[in-house]
Amino acid sequence: MKKLYSAIFLILSISFLTFRCGSDLKKTDQQDSLVAVEKPNSELILEKIIANGDFINSSKDLPFITAKEVYASLDSLHIIDLRDGEAYSKGHIKGAINVKPNELIDYIKMVDMAKYKKIVLVCYSGQIASYSTSVLQTIGYSKTYAMQWGMAAWNTKLSDKWEHVLSDNLEAELTTKVKSKKAKGSLPEFETKKSSVEDILRERAALVLSEGFAFGSVALEDYLAKKNKFYLINYANDEAYKLGHLPNAVQYTPLKSFSLETELLTLPTNKAVLIYCNSGHQSAFLAAYLRILGYNAKLLKYGTNAFIHSLMLKNNEFGKVFTKGEVNNFPLETSEYIPEEGPKQGGC
């Protein structure tokens, strides 16, 4: 009898374990099937950028400030001069602090934001400042602004940074033929050892600044030598694009084109993206933003001012044009120059 009970107990135990194991296995399979596919790092930081305000796709204008506005509000501003030490020592805005772009994130952490209405970045022509301001805006420093036209607009002694590049060299090449965007694809992918989204975003921002403006920009002569290597973007409104654009340029409209819901995914991830606008300022903002996301994005230096300047003077639709009227004679302060080892910053 005891043997019978033992046999029955053994059979029941085996049945129970089999049922339980079978149930657990099925449950585990169901759980595995419900696990969400891990998002690429670029999508994770894009969500963080949106939480930070996503200034590239907001309804607000890009964060520019004119030289006149800076001069009128000096007491409420903190000025960061991104030029090399020698250029800074020869003439800078009163109170400006000389900071290398690759040290900008570490420096901005030490600034008491509450003390200032705006943090203004200045450079030679406004393009490095725009590029660097974009990086800071993207990681949440919403008080940062770029001074339009750079130090070239501050004093006539420095205006040659713009005056020497103005030309009409490509006016004859403009076309009105519409170039279609490519089909939507996916976001770029990149590797990181960081675990939090905040740390990944800041790592990307630091990388873009450490690579330098030269790595994210293309001179006009280099574009002309390598036209077919770029996915060319005319970052302009409809009116400007219809008036004329460089051959094969695809139009993307400022302030609304680069979200997942609009046209961000039409950008290629396997080809360099070259962006041009009227001055190099707007395209600098966009190039830095896209580089943080992992795109190989670059700006065309000085924009259309460098190749259809006279046409811009005749047509307001092309956007802001640099003229002597943009140049002021605001005071410059000088300081002792102590040479440093290593390469100087680029002159844009």
Tell me what the pLDDT averaged over the chain comes to: 89
Equal fold, 41-163 vs 171-326: yes
pLDDT at residue 16, as a whole number: 38
Q: What percent of the chain has pLDDT over 90?
A: 83
Find, among 210, 200, 197, 195, the residue nearest to 288 by Cα. 210
- Residue 35's pLDDT band (boundaries 50, 70, 90)? very low
pLDDT (tens digit, 9 = 90+) per residue, 264-288? Answer: 999 999 999 999 999 999 999 999 9
Residue 28 pLDDT more than 50? no
Percentage of the residues of the chain whose pLDDT score is greater than 70: 87
Q: Which of 49-53, 93-97, 339-343 has the lowest mean pLDDT?
A: 339-343
Q: Residues 171-326: name the CATH superfamily.
A: Rhodanese-like domain (3.40.250.10)
* Cα 278 from Cα 21, distance rounded (Å): 68
SS3 letters across 222-274: HHHHCHHHEEEEEECCHHHHHHCECCCCEEECCCCCCCCCCCHHHCCCCCEEE
Q: What is the pTM of this model?
A: 0.87
Tell me how far apart the alpha carbons of residues 310 and 271 are, in angstroms, rounded to a whole number.
32
- Predicted confidence at residue 7, as pLDDT, reads 41
Tens digit of each residue's pLDDT (9 = 90 or more) over 191-229: 999 999 999 999 999 999 999 999 999 999 999 999 999
Comparison of pLDDT for 256 and 259, the residue scoring more: 259
Going by pLDDT thresholds of 50, 70 and 90, the confidence category of residue 186 is very high
Q: Which amino acid, 239?
A: E
The Cα 289–Cα 124 span in angstroms is 21
* Residue 212 near residue 135 (C-beta atoms within 8 A): no
Q: Is residue 5's pLDDT more than 50?
A: no
Please report, for the chain, the start and end positions of each structural domain, with discontinuous segments joined by +.
41-163, 171-326
Task: Please give the single-letter amino acid code of residue 222.
Answer: D
Q: What is the CA radius of gyration of the chain?
A: 27
pLDDT single digits (tens) 81-116: 999 999 999 999 999 999 999 999 999 999 999 999
Q: Find residue 118's DSSP bridge partners.
A: 77
Mapped onto helix, strand or coil, the DSSP state of residue 321 is coil
- For 41-163, CATH gives 3.40.250.10
Can you tell me the distance from the alpha carbon of 78 to that of 70, in angstroms, rounded to the nearest whole number? 10
What per-residue confidence (pLDDT) applies to 337? 85
| Opening angle at CA 274, ends 278 and 305, nearest 5 | 20
pLDDT confidence of residue 339 = 82
